[in-house]
Amino acid sequence: MSAPTNSLRGRLITFEGGEGAGKSTQIRLLAGRLAQAGVEIAATREPGGSPRAERLREFLLSGRAAPLGALGEAVLFAAARIDHVDSLIEPALERGAFVLCDRFMDSTRAYQGAMGKADARMIALLEKVALGDLKPDLTIVLDLPAREGLARAARRRGTTTQPDRFEREEASFHEGLRDAFLDIASSEADRCCVVDALAPKEEVSQAIWRLVEARFLAPAARAQ
């Protein structure tokens, strides 16, 4: 299979979901399949993805920004996103690459908006400030019960690494997050696809590949 030829511009595919949903594993697997199909990949993450945004990531995940409140934290996530979009995402899309991003604007909507109770209008404004007209072409929401995700995240951390600012939140926060991501997916069903993340990782990867192939690589998609 060859790379899409319909336009020079690439695609932005974001991965969202609660803690321990397997986003980074699935990004790695999708990147491998896309590379085999001859597509240039830029795999990245938020918060972070550029040197300046990675410094903000450290600050946010340490919990030092928490006293600012959810809206204050959202401002810092947006600042990190501006730099990430300008320095990595836009140039990659302009080159025709597929950008695979581990978390993006929907995490701000879910964590700081729905769960942090920051005013939804302010979150929408920040989104506009950070992204302008940029929107993901596809958002994969990896869905699983919060308890299972937290157990996976704890196993991944082992005994030496401390949980970060958001992993430390209570179980009810994480259950609420799951609902928040599902609400976003149903309100923007054209952009978002929910994938069952409880299934074995090869099955999850296959489901994601079918979605990406049909949308972006099938002959009909290329002709658009």
Looking at the Cβ atoms of 107 and 205, the one nearer to ligand TYD is 107
To ligand TYD, the closest distance from the beta carbon of 143 in angstroms equals 14
To ligand TYD, the closest distance from the beta carbon of 111 in angstroms equals 3
Looking at the Cβ atoms of 21 and 39, the one nearer to ligand TYD is 21
To ligand TYD, the closest distance from the beta carbon of 81 in angstroms equals 7
Looking at the Cβ atoms of 50 and 107, the one nearer to ligand TYD is 107
To ligand TYD, the closest distance from the beta carbon of 220 in angstroms equals 33
| CA distances from residue 164 to 5, 69, 153 in whole angstroms, order as listed | 42, 16, 11
Residues at the interface with ligand TYD (CB under 6 A)? 19, 23, 45-47, 61, 77, 102-103, 107-108, 111-112, 164, 166
Looking at the Cβ atoms of 164 and 213, the one nearer to ligand TYD is 164
Looking at the Cβ atoms of 37 and 59, the one nearer to ligand TYD is 59
Question: Could you write out the DSSP letters of every residue in the chain?
Answer: -----S-S--EEEEEEESTTS-HHHHHHHHHHHHHHTT--EEEEESS-SSHHHHHHHHHHHHTTTGGGHHHHHHHHHHHHHHHHIIIIIHHHHHHTPEEEEES-HHHIIIIIIIIT---HHHHHHHHHHHHTT---SEEEEEE--HHHHHHHHHHHHTTTSPP-TTTTS-HHHHHHHHHHHHHHHHHTTTTEEEEETTS-HHHHHHHHHHHHIIIIISHHHHH-
To ligand TYD, the closest distance from the beta carbon of 108 in angstroms equals 4
